[in-house]
Structure 1
Amino acid sequence: MRTIRSRTAAAATAVVLAGLSLTACESDSDAASGAQSAARPESGAPSQPGGGAGGTGKADGEGSGSGSGSSSGQGASSGQGKGGGKTGGGAGANQGAGSGSSGACTGANVKVVVSKVKRPINHLLLTITNSGSRACDAYSAPLLGFDDDQSVTRIIEDSKPQSVVTVAPGRSAYAAIQLSGEPGGDTHGRTAQRLSVHFAPRNGSGSVGTPAKLTLPANTHKDDNAAVTYWQSSASDALTY
């Protein structure tokens, strides 16, 4: 009887141990399965909506920042270019205002006088004096007509100055008139009484403004070789020719 009970007890113990072993195995299997499940979100993080939104947000932020910087840079460049253009224009305008030039000198803003000179012989001196409140520019040379001449008096091209003569208020410009050229041949010499003075425009075509009408000094004798210089800033420069 004792032997049977011992075997029965041993069998019961074996059953209990087998059950415990099975339970332990199931626990180990569940633990492993749980560990793998917990790890899946980490391995799949890049494909999660939150992660995707974060990635897109970063890309958008970088794109926006880069675009803004580029746009701002271009805007600054454009602004500087425009500003530079405006500044250049402003400077030009200020220079013009500073000089106070009212344009070409004409009979309306200058007083014109013609006079005899001792040297050189057969010369007259034409003087214009600015009677206005702003400077004027004496362009080219005076356009002269003696009495009823049908053409203007020849201009001495060698007398052309390096720049236009600007005449400030109260100041003068000068031109010398050669009454005759080299002697010889029939030059149709005669005594002239009147002189008309027209003024050249900036573009050098035709005349501009009011002409001056002058009475020549007594016994002014001129011929077809008469000529006039460009306007000069001094009488001595004009009478060099």
Structure 2
Amino acid sequence: MTRGNKAISKAAAVAALGALLLASTACEESGADGSAGSKASGRPGTTSSPKAGQTASATARDGSGNTGGDSGNGVGTAVVACAADGVAFSATSQDEEGKSVRHLLLTVTNTGNKRCHLYQYPYLKFAGARSPIAVIKDSEDAPVTLAPGEKAYAALLATGGRMDTYDTDTLPLSLQGPDPGSKASEPLNIDLPGQVPFDDGARVTYWTTASGLALRFIMTS
């Protein structure tokens, strides 16, 4: 073989080897890309998509848990106005023993087994009176909601220093509805601590859950 032929044969062998190396590299890169792509597409499916069973369980727990709890606590059910047959009343003197009774604390207790709203103030109107005892408007508060066993209070000033008085040992009290003057019960005769004189200056506060706050409106009178 001549020197020229040897050179040609050597060149051809180098070219063939180069082509073989290129082909091998291309195959490896293609395989790597395919593997990476497979892994990348697999990750979101396992980490961001929760299992169907877990999702259904969480939803059911949140929904049924809240609903059951609210129902058990009475939340979400309509709360009606307190009825006369579901409460008890009392009237106590706030004056020193031996003095004429002018300052009274009215107490109402929820004796039922459901919550109820206590609206406005005690509606107090004696038989034959032209109008009910006036309310102290500055004592207005939000309607009181009483759970079973809870109490609310209203303070009553029996006399305002007027001349004509009416002595009585019972107090006709009616519960009110959401609208002022609307009665939620017929008058109940509440026993007073002895004979108490009333006149046209009598005043009563709104219902409140704080007895001290109610009395503050009448004790300076």
User: TM-score under structure 1 normalisation?
Assistant: 0.53
Matches within 5 A, 1:16-35: 21-22=1-2, 25-35=4-14
> Distance in 1 between the 2:110 and 2:172 partners?
20
2:203 is the alignment partner of 1:230: no
Tell me, yes or no, if the aligned pair for 2:117 and 2:146 is still in contact at 8 Å.
yes
| Per-residue Cα deviation, 1:109-152 (whole angstroms, up to 9, x for no partner) | 11234466655743444332332245656455323333366765
Task: State the Cα deviation string for residues 51-78 of structure 1 (Å, max 9, x = none).
Answer: 4464245235325525764566xxxxxx
Preserved contact between residue 175 and residue 230 of structure 1 (Cα < 8 Å): yes
SS of the equivalent of 1:181 reads: coil
Q: 1:235 to 1:39 in 2, by over 3 A?
A: closer
Q: Is the 8 A contact 1:146 1:196 kept in 2?
A: no
Determine helix, strand or coil for the equivalent of 1:93: helix
Task: Give the counterpart of 2:86 among 93, 102, 109.
Answer: 109
Distance of 1:164 and 1:33 partners within structure 2: 104
How many angstroms apart in 2 are the aligned matches of 1:43 and 1:151? 110
Identity of aligned residues (%): 22
**Cα distance, 1:194–1:173 mapped onto 2, change above 3 Å:** closer
Q: Give structure 2 stretches of 5+ with no counterpart.
A: 51-57
The separation in 2 between residues aligned to 1:94 and 1:114, in whole angstroms, is 35
Give distance in 1, aligned partners of 2:209 and 2:111. Answer: 16
The amino acid that maps onto 1:107 is A
User: Which residue type is aligned with residue 84 of structure 2?
Assistant: G
Q: Does the aligned pair in 1 maintain the 2:124–2:133 contact within 8 Å?
A: yes
Are residues 215 and 43 of structure 1, via their aligned partners in 2, closer, same or farther at CA, if it must alter by over 3 Å?
closer
- Greater Cα radius of gyration, structure 1 or 2: 1
Give yes or no for the alignment of 1:58 onto 2:36: yes
| AA matched with 1:142 | P
1:154 to 134, 143, 148: 134
Q: Distance in 2 between matches of 1:95 and 1:161?
A: 28
Secondary structure of the structure 1 residue equivalent to 2:154: strand
Shift of 1:108: 2.8
Structure with greater helix percent: 1
CA contact (8 A) 1:114 1:214 kept: no
Cα 1:103–1:210 shift into 2, 3 Å: same
User: In structure 2, what is the Cα distance between the partners aligned to 1:163 and 1:197?
Assistant: 16
SS at match of 2:84: coil
Residue 200 of structure 1 contacts residue 208 of structure 1 at CA under 8 Å; is this kept in 2?
yes
Aligned length: 203
* Alignment-mate amino acid for residue 214 of structure 1: N
Question: So what's the TM-score if we normalise by structure 2?
Answer: 0.56
1:205 and 1:122, CA in 2 relative to 1: closer, same or farther beyond 3 A? closer
Deviation at 1:33, TM superposition (A): 1.2
1:36-75 aligned within 5 A:
36-44=15-23, 51-52=29-30, 54-65=32-43, 69=47
What's the RMSD between the two structures over aligned residues? 5.1
- Mapped to 2, the partners of 1:47 and 1:150 lie a distance apart of 108
Conservation of the 8 A alpha-carbon contact between 2:101 and 2:197: no
Give me the whole-angstrom Cα distance separating, in 2, the residues matched to 1:69 and 1:148. 81
CA contact (8 A) 2:115 2:146 kept: yes
